[in-house]
Amino acid sequence: MKFFIDTADLDEIRELSATGLLDGVTTNPSLIRKAGGEFFETIAEIAKLVDGPVSAETVATDHETMLKEGLKLAKIADNIAIKVPLTVDGLKTCKALRAQGIMVNVTLCFSASQALLAAKAGASFISPFVGRHDDISQDGMALIEDIRTIYDNYDFETEILVASIRHPLHVVEAARIGADVATIPAAVMKKLFQHPLTDRGLEAFLKDWKETGQSIL
Ligand code: G3P
């Protein structure tokens, strides 16, 4: 499963990119606002920091303007994926951008029917928001299972990009189901590494090693 980081914070991206485990980045208007930088400069810098897809989101709601925005954003770098909302105009724009060979990430997906439409529109990625389902006591991961089944039934090439991740179990469940990508907030990504038994075991190993009085280097 590919790991994308869900942030526009350049320091977070630099820190986690250094692990060699990062396969891409997703941003959205809220994350851009939170990071505080100039949009085009931020996306251009992110696209240099990672080789994989970097999602940059349009902000128009009509197809004609959304397409213009997408074509302009795609010029920033070769690894830009244009994010469009799951609306009629968003899927029209998806089809038009894909026809020009531009990666498209269809976002704000909350149902299997929406995901089916995005695949038919040729989306490169579909972003179902699992956390926002969970936030209203719905089962966000059940949506991922439905989408996986539907996409496998028809060999759709659209990659399932699990978004709105709140904790490590969302990542584990997404991998169990067979999602293609998880886009993970930096804080959650760091939690994936952590286990108290690892810490305790390492501490014991190093204590015992120290008592041997030996060194490796
Ligand atoms: O990529 C979409 C993601 O940023 C949304 O997450 O936490 O706002 O639901 P959240």
Using one digit for the tens of pLDDT, what is the confidence trace for 141-175? Answer: 999 999 999 999 999 999 999 999 999 999 999 99
Task: Quick: pLDDT tens for 70-129.
Answer: 999 999 999 999 999 999 999 999 999 999 999 999 999 999 999 999 999 999 999 999
**3-class secondary structure, 33:** helix
What is the predicted pLDDT for the residue at 93? 98
What is the predicted pLDDT for the residue at 175? 98
Task: Quick: pLDDT tens for 33-86.
Answer: 999 999 999 999 999 999 999 999 999 999 999 999 999 999 999 999 999 999
Query: Which tokens is 146 given?
Result: 């439905």
The domain in which residue 64 lies consists of: 2-212
Average pLDDT, integer, range 24-37: 97
Residue 50 within any structural domain of the chain: yes
Average pLDDT, integer, range 16-22: 97
Given a contact cutoff of 8 angstroms between Cβ atoms, the answer to whether 70 and 58 are in contact is yes
Residue 217 within any structural domain of the chain: no
| Ligand 1 centre distance from Cα of residue 164 (Å) | 4
Residue 108 within any structural domain of the chain: yes
| Ligand 1 centre distance from Cα of residue 127 (Å) | 10
- 164 CB under 6 A from ligand 1? yes
Query: Which tokens is 116 given?
Result: 């089916």
Determine the Cα–Cα distance for residues 123 and 102; give it in Å rounded to an integer.
Answer: 10
What is the predicted pLDDT for the residue at 108? 98
Determine the Cα–Cα distance for residues 115 and 31; give it in Å rounded to an integer.
Answer: 23
Residue 174 within any structural domain of the chain: yes
- Helices then strands (H, E): number in the chain? 11, 8
Given a contact cutoff of 8 angstroms between Cβ atoms, the answer to whether 123 and 117 are in contact is no
Query: Which tokens is 93 given?
Result: 């724009």
- 57 CB under 6 A from ligand 1? no
Active site residue: 2, 68, 83, 95, which one? 83
Handedness of CA 103, 182, 92, 115 (dihedral sign): positive
Q: How confident is the model at residue 185 (pLDDT cuts 50, 70, 90)?
A: very high
Residue 101 within any structural domain of the chain: yes
Residue ID of nearest Cα to ligand 1 atom 1: 163
CATH of residue 29: 3.20.20.70
What is the predicted pLDDT for the residue at 199? 98
What is the predicted pLDDT for the residue at 79? 98
Determine the Cα–Cα distance for residues 106 and 83; give it in Å rounded to an integer.
Answer: 6
Residue 49 within any structural domain of the chain: yes
Catalytic, 83? Answer yes
For the chain, the maximum distance between any two Cα atoms, rounded to a whole number of angstroms, is 71
- 132 CB under 6 A from ligand 1? yes
What is the predicted pLDDT for the residue at 57? 98
- 42 CB under 6 A from ligand 1? no
Question: Three-state SS string across 10-71, please?
Answer: HHHHHHHHCCCCCCEEECCHHHHHHHCCCHHHHHHHHHHHCCCCEEEECCCCCHHHHHHHHH
Average pLDDT, integer, range 18-45: 97
Q: Say how many domains are in the chain.
A: 1
